[in-house]
Amino acid sequence: MPNIKSAVKRTKTNEKRRQQRMAQKSAMRTSVKKFLVAVENQEKETAGSLLREAKRKLDKGVTKGLLHKNAAARQKSRLEKKFNALNG
């Protein structure tokens, strides 16, 4: 446990940021999983809206620094392929 006032503040802010990043990352993963479940269940209508949501969350993850832009692009591409296979 730090004794210096600035170090105490740093540990508090670091923990707060860590919690926020964990929540954002979890929401991102959840949206992707929801889409994958919809595709698995052949739900074409809901899969479209869930795909948009998942892509949005992935893009936000990139801007927040949770995910590398190429990793997000790769994931979005794979999700699009699954969606196109469902519709095509």
In this prediction, residue 87 has a pLDDT band, given cuts at 50, 70 and 90, of confident
Question: Could you give the CA distance from residue 57 to residue 10 in angstroms, rounded to a whole number?
Answer: 28
State how far the Cα of 86 lies from the Cα of 42, in Å rounded to an integer.
7
Report which residue type is found at 35.
Answer: F
Burial (0-12, 13-18, 19+ Cβ within 10 Å), 34: middle
Query: What confidence tens digit (pLDDT) does each residue in 4-56 have?
Result: 999 999 999 999 999 999 999 999 999 999 999 999 999 988 999 999 999 99
∠ CA 75-79-84 to the nearest 5 degrees?
Answer: 145
Q: Rounded distance, CA 72 to CA 63, Å?
A: 11
5-87 has which CATH code?
1.20.58.110
